[in-house]
Structure 1
Amino acid sequence: MIEVDPFSMSEPESLNRPSARIDTARILDAMRRTARIEREGLAALEDAFDERAVGVVSLLATLKGRLICAGVGKSGHVARKIAATLASTGTPAQYVHPAEASHGDLGMITSSDAVLALSKSGETRELGDLSAYCRRFGVPLIALTAGKDSTLAKASDHLLLIPDAPEAAAETRAPTTSTTLMMAYGDALAVALIEARGFTAADFATFHPGGTLGAAFLKAGDLMHDDMPLAEEGTLMADALIVMSAKGFGCVGITRGGKLTGIITDGDLRRHMSPDLTASPVETIMTANPKSVRPGDLAADALRLMTAGTHKILSVFVCDETGKPLGLLHIHDLLRAGLS
């Protein structure tokens, strides 16, 4: 047997070729050909969905445990992505590496779970122990493969077939089209489960509290300040200015009988500046019928309300259906939350 020292091996000659040899036309042709081949594969996948896929969606919709996603190499990366997508859309899921499973991580899998095993050929040896474990303990095994007569397909309880489409990198057969099809199949399962469960945007926001997605689902009530600057009609501006300065929002809401009737901002003060300003009642200075939002409105909609038109506003009150102010939103709160 010939032993090869990997540290003595030189890099492939292709990696050392100068970039000046790159042919722009050939590069663009390769990229467009890749897109075309994968698009054709996706078209074939659309026709491949059948009653077996519906059966898997029904299984996952009623699953008491988690879906364990497993695969090796590029299929493993896709399995991780599928698990992440399902977990964020209401289907508890996690990735388990088949090799680690053979060394103790099989203990993570219970009889309440199901396993989704990914392998284009269906002959990935590392999936063998996982397959045997599922058979021994009655864990449903779902195979996602192009090998309809493969070892994995025959061992599975549920078979999901992707088209055996050509890889875009024909010479090397590097996983390209096949991984795209597996990922698309995972997305199709996730979307089908979203619709089967009636999973809503509010549910989605629960699993995405951070980042741009989280910000997109924040409600006005999530960001509002409860300690509001308020003054009743009839209050003199001298007292209203004290409230306005103490709260630091650059405005004060005016109420009558507990309902919002107006607002006084720094702009209103500049427009009504006079020697007798502080002796004036607030209703003579305020802007009547100010814009407001409900606590259940999306914060993104509140931001659009504040920035629409020629007259931008920095604060908006959050009121209930009767007009009672519940809180105050400042534009800085929205921007800090990641909205733009």
Structure 2
Amino acid sequence: MKKEIKTDYYDNFTCIADKCSFTCCQEWKIEVDDDTYIKWNRLSLTKQNNNYLDQYVKQKDGTRVIALNEQKQCPFLNEQKLCNLVLNLGDEVLSETCAIFPRQTHEFADRKEYSLVSCCPEVVDLINQQDKICFTKNMLDMDGDILLQIRTMMITIMQNQHFSISKSVMMLFYILLDIHQKESILKKDIDEYKDEAGLKELSEAIDNMQFLSLDTFEENNELFLDMTENYRKQEQYSSYLEPIAVIAENLSRDYDKHKMSVKLQEFEKQFSSYEKLFRNYLVVEIFSNSLMPESDLESIVVMFQWIAMEYAMMRHSIFLGWLLDEQEKLSYTVVRNYIVVISRMMGYDQEDICEYLEKSFENLIWEWGYLALIIGAEEGK
């Protein structure tokens, strides 16, 4: 029997349905698997309704999806924010996507891994409630192949509170690039990367580097506008993206550098109060998305880049949202909303991620300096 590994809050998740502040039935692709499509071909919503369910399905990017209505909502979502499919036909008629979301399962030769994706606000709340991300089995002590050992090392360093989040991300990318360029790697080599003296030396080397907050701001602003361009054209997540995208466009043309430096420092103080949440978030992302059943070493490096960029885009979106609110205190609602929005925007599969990175950058795998640029250093650290 295979080992099962879960984040220890996995079984605590419950969909709150109509009470959810950010429904999963709106503004994104809801896939319809083959078995569900065949089933829907024989079913109508009610006995009085002659429209079979498959009439609500369309092809998009080579995949069957539910055709959203003019409000960009699932046509089965009623005014009470409940699913008419479930109300009329029961849970068993749901597509696989709807039935399992936000749960995620990866099956390896020796184990199954379960996690919850942060595209759901209820999941973000659960992540925020954890003092530290733990697992139902002590995964950090598990033996396994070299890729599992690399991921375990990544989680260990990310959970080390001696290093700031930004520094942890930079250190991990440096280590991953170092591993990637080696001809072979053994478990004892991975253990050396966890050596306290070596980590301290790497940390001090990063401390001696100069990071300009305005350079990080400008690069992230351009990245944000690029990432959101198609979503804005399709008017997806408009209530969240459009107001802050307008701010980003104005800032891309001109801004007062001194005033922006002051604002960035003020924001950093507010953002630092959510350090536990984002450290937990990054640990969960590394656990659930850096290592897939089909992964090799290069794909781990690529996925870590994506995780780092996702974090940078969340932080920048939250910064723009904070500017928009013109409030001194950064609210948890703003933080959670943009975690969910950016998670949904950047929740591509690995093939699409590679395609985006290859089109947008000179090389699939970045130089260390580029990741350091978009991550930057926390003020005063």
User: Is TM (by shorter chain) over 0.5?
Assistant: no
Structure with the larger RCO, 1 or 2 (CA within 8 Å, 6+ apart): 2
TM-score of the superposed pair, with normalisation by structure 1: 0.21
Specify the structure having the higher radius of gyration (Cα).
Answer: 1
| Structure showing the higher strand proportion among its residues | 1
TM-score of the superposed pair, with normalisation by structure 2: 0.19
